[in-house]
Structure 1
Amino acid sequence: MTTGQSGSRASKRQGIRSEYKALTRQRLTDAALREFEDRGYSQCTVDDVARRAGTSRATFYVHFSGKAELAEGMWDVIRHKLMRLYRDLARAPVRDRSMIEAWLERTFAFYAENRQRLIAIHEAIALEPLLAEVYFERTEEVADFIAPLIEDARGVTAETARFRAALLTIQHERFCYFWILRGMPFDHAQAVCGLAEIWCDQIGVQEREVPVNASPPRAGTS
């Protein structure tokens, strides 16, 4: 066997090991997600995750330091989806009342679609100090998107705008938590109407420009 052939086989074996390791890690991640959704973060153990993934506790710790690392990874995926919603709002060319209401509906749908995951994440945040820090960083990120809108609309300082943005976004998140995640009874239409008024008041409403007394051009004119 030549040196080149030996190196090629070693490289192939290394590739197979890396692929197997990645697949095992993914199995553990998927198993943790299902366990968190089915049983909640606090009731789920490392052994539960390993058993569901068809592997051992020792193998689990080869890939992850503990449940908190898995919960942080799940939160990171959810966080990016949520940030896209706020980014869409901040970059919207027009923010009239109907647009704000449609955006709120999208956020409600997001919480409903990810209900079990978000409940598990909130349980983890309450138990894991490091994950709580990551969550607070997300709150600051969201405020950074919304603060410039408030600053422009209300004519306040950047510091005041950021404070109001934090209040606005935390209120929205807490409302969705109690209403959509925990089932506190609220009327859907009232929720949309009430929150739209609050948001429009703070970020301003950019109405679509409609020509006044404009008449359509006559045939044959440009």
Structure 2
Amino acid sequence: MEVLGKATVLVIDDERNMREMLEIGLVQYDFAVTSVPDGVEALVVVRGLQPDIILLDMMMPKIDGVSLVPLLRRHTEAPIVMLSARSDAQDKIAALTAGADDYVAKPFHLGEVAARLRAQLRRPQLVQRDFIRFDDIAVDVAKREVQRAGKRIELTTREFDLLVALLREPGRVFTREQLLDRVWGSDAAVEPNVVETYISYLRTKLADRSDRPLIRTIRRVGYTARLND
């Protein structure tokens, strides 16, 4: 998510000195930077931050960089650049095979890292796809496919369209009338409670938890897709 025109970098590195050096240095190269010390915290932060690119250390406690890449991919399509003190071919192959987009060996020149980040950000996607990620929900709009936590969920046409309407603008509160117009059309002859009914269907199929709902009811107003505060 760009901040005032600056690309946002999520730095994941367990070494405090390295994190601080990258934070200070990349800001000087006109990036916005957020950093975390391990993969566990990264998986929490990435859901809300939605960074433009990720700089990931390979050797970390709790979850190593290679294992973390596919976990991050559940929540973001941002390019991932791996950092490592190990420079042999097998380590590079392991990182790239796991899904990393580039590999930089330590020690490195900060200018090279910044240049590699910008090179990744300039790369066009090979396939332009309308893809939505929200928490652990992934929606391929073109294929009309939905997954939650990697498990495919079968939705009807109306259920799918309702979910997409909510997830395209997370945090926005939609009135019943707005959702009715977007999903069914303003002239549709439907039951008065059709929106409420389909919200219930969605919650059931998504296994939405009542104590941690992603689709929320805003009393006397409408509905919204929102992560926990």
- Flag the structure with higher helix content: 1
- TM-score, with structure 1 as normaliser: 0.25
- For the pair shown, which has the larger CA radius of gyration, 1 or 2? 1
- TM-score, with structure 2 as normaliser: 0.24
